[in-house]
Structure 1
Amino acid sequence: MNDSPSSSPLDSVKVLLLQARTSAQMERQERLCFLERARLRSDQLAALSVLRDPLPPRLLDRVDAVFIGGAGEYSAYDDFPWMPGLLDFVRHIADTQRPLFGSCWGHQVMARAFGGRVVHDSERSELGCRSVSLTESGASDPLFGTLPETFKANMGHHDRVTKLPDGAIELAHNEQPNQAFRMRDWPCYGTQFHSELDAERERERLIEYRDYYRDDLPSDKDFQAVLNNLTETPEVDDLLHRFLKMYAT
């Protein structure tokens, strides 16, 4: 046992990150974001692309938890050739009770996998830093209950979850419901906001996907206003780290 001051309960934790990025640069950036927010070493995070890598159930034998990241060009409600396999893999994670955390697109994929509903709603897209408030269930949740009643979080989506799966508990909302949820009987959390992004990383992400959001923000002036509005989100920045400490150690 390592009793040195630098030791951490997460030192031996292994995490699998599922990604859906076509850009190698954004794959690297997303991995770095999850490493930073979860406070993991690079050797503790194994990343797989759902676009090109197989997802055999035995992968879960080698990890203590699973993250599902964002997607850029891919919608969680579309039936891409690889989507059935991904949904089956998410349901297999539930069968094994491995801790699972989905961010943005990952949140939507989890909702769909367990029977919820995801829609495309560009008129209610959320880009940049927005306020989110806890529900009563969120305020009493072991993980979310440490957050303030209302907090800032970084966002970049124009799909959203309109119906939660059976057995899911809404933890947070704003003008839109289901900004965060958890499954009732195992440590499975989803956030519509990007739990892995601080202000600097959100800026990088928005600039990279500028064309993808051009219909939502056609004016460069409006897009710059979103970038200028980015602020630090210290309450959310610790969420992934606390999730692993609470459920993966």
Structure 2
Amino acid sequence: MKPFLILQLRPETEASDDEFTAILTKSGLSAKEVRRVRLDQDPLPADLRLENYAGVIVGGGPGCVSDTPEQKTPVEARIEDAVLSLMPEITARDFPFLGCCYGIGILGHHLGKVVSKERYSEEVGTSDCSLTKAGQSDPVLVGLPEQFEAFVGHKEAIQRLPEGCVHLISAPTCPYQMIRFGENVYATQFHPEADSDGFEVRINIYKHKGYFPPEDAQKLIDMCRAADVHAPEKILKNFVERYRG
């Protein structure tokens, strides 16, 4: 079996390691079945050839593609450039791709620069998601209920559906929660890998990053622990099962 390429964008080791473990656990992959690249530490492999992988999974991160160059740290700019450099080939080949949170920003920016902070930011917590008609028949969403909760927390969002994309999941607070380009390129605004433990880790790490007032951290942790969030992880499992062969 070809490995999956997991690209991580978080410069905080605790957050990156926790996300990596969550992706493996929720997808059913083992560490031997993936190639992990932390783009905050390493460049894309010089020998990277998409045909050597079953698919690409991109994690989340604190950066925003809609920030100006002056607003981005050198690390954030380098990470963003690395991921964006892969998108022309991924979309041209319709190569299996799953972008989680930051990944939908990368896809939306590549396809039409339709990502901004104009509308649809969501505070840290849960979002009430619903499958669209197209989502109800998509193979990566098999087994998901028509309505479910998912963990979110983002400052920017897709403002309009890029050309060539299908709208799969919506929410009242942010309409484009999941989209598909072509037949195999997927991205979610929410975090399909996240559970309450993982979100507690991120809340503590990012409480000074402008997502919420730092003094609200414990309140948000309590809210996330009380939430019933299990359905989104099925997306990771379905994606891997569809493409691992």
Q: What is the CA–CA distance in structure 2 between the aligned matches of 1:228 and 1:43, rounded to whole Å?
A: 35
1:162-173 → structure 2 map (5 Å cutoff): 162-173=159-170
Say if 2:41 is the partner of 1:43: no
Q: Cα offset for 1:110?
A: 1.2
1:198 equivalenced with 2:213 (yes/no): no
CA contact (8 A) 1:156 1:206 kept: no
Alignment length, in residue pairs?
233
Task: State how far apart, in whole Å, the 2-side matches of 1:149 and 1:164 are.
Answer: 21
Query: Could you tell me how far apart the structure 2 residues matched to 1:162 and 1:122 are?
Result: 7
CA contact (8 A) 1:115 1:165 kept: yes
Q: Equivalent of 2:177, from 179, 185, 190?
A: 179
TM-score normalized by structure 1? 0.84
Paired residue for 2:87, among 85, 90, 107? 90
Distance in 1 (alpha carbons) for counterparts of 2:143 and 2:111 = 27
Q: Is 1:110 aligned to residue 104 of structure 2?
A: no
Counterpart of 2:213 in structure 1 is 218
Q: Deviations over 1:139-191 (max 9, x none)?
A: 222222532121011112111111222100111111221011011x3211111
Unaligned runs of 5+ in 2: 70-76
Matched, 1:149 2:139: no
Q: Conserved in 1, the CA contact under 8 Å of 2:135 and 2:167?
A: yes
Q: CA deviation at 1:132?
A: 0.8
Q: Give 1:109 deviation, angstroms.
A: 0.6
Amino acid in the other structure paired with 2:39: V
CA distance in 1, matches of 2:194, 2:144: 17
Report the residue type matching 1:180 in the other structure: M
Contact 2:2/2:52 (<8 A) preserved:
no
Q: What secondary structure, in the 3-state scheme, does the structure 1 residue paired with 2:139 have? A: coil
**Residues 226-241 of structure 1 mapped to structure 2, 5 A cutoff:** 226-230=220-224, 231-241=227-237
Q: State the AA in 1 paired with 2:234.
A: D
The amino acid across from 1:104 in the alignment is: C
Structure 2 CA distance for aligned equivalents of residues 57 and 178 of structure 1: 34
**Equivalent runs, 1:16-27 vs 2, <5 Å:** 16-27=5-16
Match of 2:206 among 204, 209, 227: 209
Identity between Structure 1 and Structure 2 (%): 25
* TM-score relative to the length of structure 2: 0.86
Partners of 1:33 and 1:166 lie apart in 2 by: 32
Q: How does 1:115-134 map to 2 (within 5 A)?
A: 115-120=112-117, 124-134=121-131
Structure 1: any 5+ residue segments left out of the alignment? Answer: 1-11
Structure 1 position 116, deviation (Å): 4.3
Q: Provide the aligned C-alpha RMSD in A.
A: 2.2
Query: Which residue of the partner structure matches residue 3 of structure 1?
Result: none
